[in-house]
Amino acid sequence: MSASDTPGEDGNTEYGRKSFKRSKSHFADRITADGRDGWPVEAGRYRLVVSRACPWASRALVSRRLLGLEEAISLAVVDPLQDDRSWRFTLDPDGRDPVLGIRFLSEAYDAREKDYPGGVSVPAIVDVPSGELVTNDYQRITLDFATEWTALHRPGAPDLYPQALRDEIDEVMEGVYRDVNNGVYRAGFAVSQEEYEGAYRDVFRRLDWLSDRLADRRYLVGGSITEADIRLFTTLVRFDAVYHGHFKCNRSKLAEDPVLWGYVRDLYQTPGFGDTVDFDHIKRHYYMVHTGINPRRIVPVGPDLTGWLTPHGREALGGRPFGDGTPPGPPPVAERVPESGRPPGAAAV
């Protein structure tokens, strides 16, 4: 999610006035076990910068938790609202990231490439010693967490991108990305009725396909959680709170589809998923930043979040969430979602 698309304290008045096109990640270096791009996997060297509002950044949050990389790569959480200098560290004391020593994520971008003209996006990984941005490649970061950071995975970490299933995972993820992850944005930021209706049809055609696929299987590919589930989850968890109304994807709510509603609650209640979700950040970001769509910046009170904690019954489909692995432990205290961002009655862990 790019801050160049959302300049100014009042959010982005351009959203809803020009056709939406997602930018490619400009900084696509990889952090690998062999360090072939100059960035070797190394415990404590890098800092992951995320917004809990952003579905793309939330993928990295879930992956990091499931794989137990909390000690290996530290975490910075930005304010869900930006100003014209990009994502800001106003949630930290004195408005400065305590590890990187910067007030705005753009400073790490500038350290890597001065006067870079593109967007300042999250997730971003920053090299702590130099203060330089390493990568903002949201499509690659989590795949590398799963495959390149294995030496630093916790004991019992699941295999989120198993070799034998990669072709099927990639195929499923491609359709989910095009029609769901990106499709809701194309609908929400459409500038014509025709453009909106095309994106709307894509979203619900794919959701219907996913509902059929998940009717008799617990997870998207294979018998345990994979990268494909992570990528779908971060959009579905935002659907009723944001995309249904704010982005006009309103044929039906997710809670009205028994299969998808059960599937997303199953994941939400799985350690590593729901404990990364902050509904307060999600709603405030979308409704207060996108002033081209919501000029009054009024944040809706609903929907009722208590349903996220209700039984889903999908254990009957079989499958093991972590395969041969084990669930992650509780998140570090400093990283727990505040009560304001959790459903009533949800524990911090």
How many Å apart are CA 144 and CA 73, to the nearest integer? 13
> 142: exposed, middle or buried (C-beta count within 10 Å: 0-12, 13-18, 19+)?
buried
Count the neighbouring beta carbons within 10 Å of the beta carbon of residue 23: 12
Cα distances (angstroms) measured from residue 91 to each of 78, 83, 190, 228: 7, 14, 32, 31
Q: Is 249 tagged catalytic?
A: no
Token pair of 336, please? Answer: 């727990």
Number of other residues whose CB lies within 10 A of the CB of residue 239: 23
> Could you give the angle at the alpha carbon of 249 between the alpha carbons of 246 and 254, nearest 5°?
105
Total residues belonging to the chain = 349
Residue type, 297: R
Residue 281, sorted as left (phi over 0), alpha (psi -120 to 50) or beta, turns out to be alpha
Structure tokens at 130: 């130099």
Q: Which one of the listed residues 46, 54, 138, 196 is annotated catalytic?
A: 54
The residue among 180, 142, 174 whose CA lies nearest residue 161 is 142
User: Distance between terminal CA atoms of the chain?
Assistant: 26
DSSP codes joined into one string, 161-177: S-GGGHHHHHHHHHHHI
With CA atoms as reference, report the closest residue to 157 among 169, 148, 146: 146
54 annotated active-site: yes
Identified catalytic residue from 138, 185, 263, 286: 185
Place of tokens 């194309």: 186
Positions annotated as catalytic residues are 54, 185
